[in-house]
Amino acid sequence: MESSRTRLTIVRHGQTSANIDGVWHGSTNTPLTDHGRLQAAAVAAHIEANHRPIAHVYASPLDRAHHTAQAIAGPLGLTPSLETDLEEYDLGEWEGLTFETLWKEKKLFENMKRDPDFNPHRGESPKQVGDRLSGALRRIADHHPGERVVVVTHGGALSIALGILLDNDYTRWDRMMKNCAISELVLEPNPELVSFNLTEHLPCEDPPSP
């Protein structure tokens, strides 16, 4: 029954300087910009008004996700729980490179699609990222049967996890959530994306973001 299904309200963190500059900050601990903090306040107000009751808030411990989660949890009287498995895709030695360099020179995305264990850069492979984040979403859902929880995470890792959960193939998923967008996911009896990349609550259009 619908009332017994755990609903995950998934939020991508607010804007950072890396989003503006078009560089990859996976494990790099980048703070929110001023605009990112405005986005976090806007998504917090929207969730408080439209998604209650919220049983709990979970977040990646990286500042950009943690601080977005704090903005959401505060008005609800909650404190975010930090889960390392919700962190962004760690590209190791390739952290801080531009998306253009990763695409054209390093052939990152081409090699990710070709080989789930691709990992020549002392970071993570697509399989490692997908397994840890999809596993974290399942654990969170299992801990809150029939409840609604908020999960604040990262765009790249989330795209891989959604491909695994919804299509059993991370290479088939090519959509990216915008900063502080909302998606809703249920996992039982079968994974279903109820909504994706809702942005109507945001104060203004995001600057271009890879």
Amino acid identity, position 73? A
CA atoms of 7 and 150, how far apart (whole Å): 9
Query: Which residue of the set 83, 87, 88, 124 is catalytic?
Result: 88
For this structure, is 35 an active site residue? Answer: no
> Is the CB of residue 100 less than 8 Å from the CB of residue 81?
no
Q: What is the helix (H) or strand (E) element at residue 194, kind and residue range?
A: strand 192-198
- CB–CB of 7/173 below 8 Å? no
Residue 207 to residue 185: CA distance in whole angstroms: 26
DSSP string, 38-85: HHHHHHHHHHHHHS----EEEE-SSHHHHHHHHHHHHHHT--PEE-GG
Our answer to whether residue 154 is catalytic in this structure is no
Longest dimension (CA), the chain: 50
The two tokens of residue 200 are 């109507």
The label of the residue with tokens 């299904």 reads 5
So which residues are the catalytic ones? 13, 88
